[in-house]
Structure 1
Amino acid sequence: MRFDIVTVFPGMLEAVLREGVLGRAIERDVLQVGLHDLRAYSADSYRTVDDVPYGGGPGMVLKPEPFFRAVAAIRQRHGEPDAVVLLSPKGRVFRHEEAARLSRLRHVTLLCGRYEGVDERVREQVATDELSIGDYVLSGGELPAAVVVDAVARLVPGVVGDAQSVVEDSFVRGILDHPHYTRPAEVETHGVPHVLLSGHHAEIRHWRKREAVKRTLERRPDLLEHAALDDEERAILRELMDEVEGQ
């Protein structure tokens, strides 16, 4: 899979792409990521990419032409992207389902906004999607782009070494993950749940399912409406809800 990221600050993303799962996937050529400095597509010697907003108001707006040129150059070098995503607080919220959809594509281009925003003609003429990573404002689209690349790349076969860990991640089935523990078994009088030390695999599996459903019910009950629960998990959910009603 290939990502191309258009940004005013490519250096913000270079470190992220060198480390961890993403860095290893790029080294093995399972994942390709191109960083494109928006200023390289400016039309003047000052490398100008922003201007004052029509109608007045604070701040600066990113100009449309540098984005048009950047995407045209990407098309010429790497072919037509399957999706051109504008990272913006105005977009629909990025969720696991969106990550799964993008992971099935061959080539995704990400456009990073900055300052007061991006000229609307970029969204109208170039972007196929507009995504936000949450209901808050960041200084630019670079951090959201890193989030999208990481979340999508994890779902691409071969990127994560242990494929089972991806299957068992939170949100893949629509519920939160169970608690995790490692050695030592006790630290400052705080111990590990006994069942995890028992060696009884069926009991451990049931405990993990119960804790995952319980945590989701307590913290994100909205997820349960569409969660892909199995029969055992549905029975656990009914039991937990009966306990709540009985209190």
Structure 2
Amino acid sequence: MKFKNFDSLFNFYRNGQIFKKGKTKKNGKPFGIWNLYSNDGKLREIREWFVIDGHSRINRVWFLDKKGDTIAWRYQDSIFNQKEFVNDTIGTRATDYNVFDFNKDTIFLNEPIRGIAYCNSRRIRDYDSQIRIFLHSENVDFNSPFPNDSLIRRDSFKNLKADSINHKWFTHIKPDRYGHVSIFGAWFENPGQKLLRGYMEEYSYGPFEDKEIDSVTARVYFEKTIFVKDTIEQNHSVQHSI
């Protein structure tokens, strides 16, 4: 199946059941959501790929049991000993529970899109860490890869540990979790379909006794398609500060 900027790829088992399906760029680099199935047709693994700085990278992975429920790690269920899964290896064996929640899919010109990032799967586990959010410059090319991060940062947002003004909205979260929750948002000057892109950066600053470096970072990328109406909402009020 051919498209303008990418191909859809389907791999099958010998019994005719689908093994995996997803999209690749014209140069063969995978991107977007890829689904992997067991040889009896059940969805067992979901991979999220992004093309970043010209390279395809696994961003997040979710592993499923035979009932379709999320499981914490790949070998928790013996199906992953199936040879096709063993031969199709990736760098992680744990499900990613990081979450990016957005308030809306459609907004008016005079209101922001608001998001909340929850770092539920820490990638820096040996040191105390926190998160922050970086948003990329607005991009109208929906098929373009993520450009170089150092060139496209537009806004940055701290976590709740430093963002005390928004504590009142998160009374259900214990204060020791504040460093791993961040509120972020953006305004758009023109109507139409938009692609909001950015990443959550988990970081820890040294000095570290067992390392010669001053800091450790890990990133999880996200993107959100938004439609901005060519109208202004009356009596609009902002609930969360961004």
Which structure has more relative contact order (CA 8 Å, sep 6+)? It is 1
TM-score, normalized by length of structure 2?
0.24
* CA radius of gyration, larger in: 1
